[in-house]
Amino acid sequence: MHKKHPAQQPDRHIDTLQADQPCTAAATPRPTSASTGRPGRQPARQGRISTRWSDTTIGGEPRIHIDFSGAGCTSCPAKETCTTAAYRVLTLLPREEHELLRQRRAQQQTDQWKERYHTRAGVEGSISQAVRRTSTRRTRYRSLAKTSLAQVLTAAALNLYRLDAWWTGTPLGTTRVSHYEQLVLSHAA
């Protein structure tokens, strides 16, 4: 089954998309040559010319692979912001997917989208609480009736947790901080 890119999902699908990375933001798929139907050598940042464009597939998905010459990259003043490798390589989505992805990223900045996502964030918080408190990812029972009963009892238990927190004035939980972030924060202080 062909899995769709997140940007190709129906409009009712509310999910965040990663922002363009600084190096790839300027490297959008270029117009194709009228004679070959394929992109030709195109300038990158700082006016460097790509040495090769090729169509490839990654995980069964079509991609455009672009190489830049190592000689051009070593003398480039923007190399430190562009790549840490010997030369720059880009892997881009096909034009249609790229344009759709840019459109969806622009939609994420609107107030209407943020309001819709706010609802999803609440649901995600409830699921996270259920998984952490009651281990709902796996059931102890084998029949559908017993599993359904376990889900109803889990939901009731979560409601009791929330009522107890409300009655006792326990503050809402904060976003968890990873061990790495805790380490960085402790060294920064």
pLDDT tens by residue, 94-135? 888 889 989 999 998 999 988 888 888 888 888 888 888 888
Domain that holds residue 21: 6-108
Question: Rounded mean pLDDT of 48-52?
Answer: 75
Q: What is the pLDDT of residues 9-41, one digit of tens each?
A: 444 445 555 555 444 444 444 444 443 444 554
Displacement of CA 57 from its chain's centroid (Å)? 19
Count other Cβ atoms within 10 Å, centred on residue 73: 20
Q: Are residues 127 and 166 in the same domain?
A: yes
> What letter does residue 12 receive in the DSSP assignment?
T
Q: Are residues 80 and 100 in the same domain?
A: yes
Residue 170 maps to a domain: yes
Please report the pLDDT score of residue 44 as a whole number: 55
Instruction: Burial-class residue 76 by CB neighbours within 10 Å (0-12, 13-18, 19+).
Output: buried
* Cβ–Cβ under 8 Å, residues 64 and 53: yes
**Residue, of 3 and 148, whose pLDDT is higher:** 148
Residue whose C-alpha is closest to residue 64's, from 87, 23, 32, 20: 32
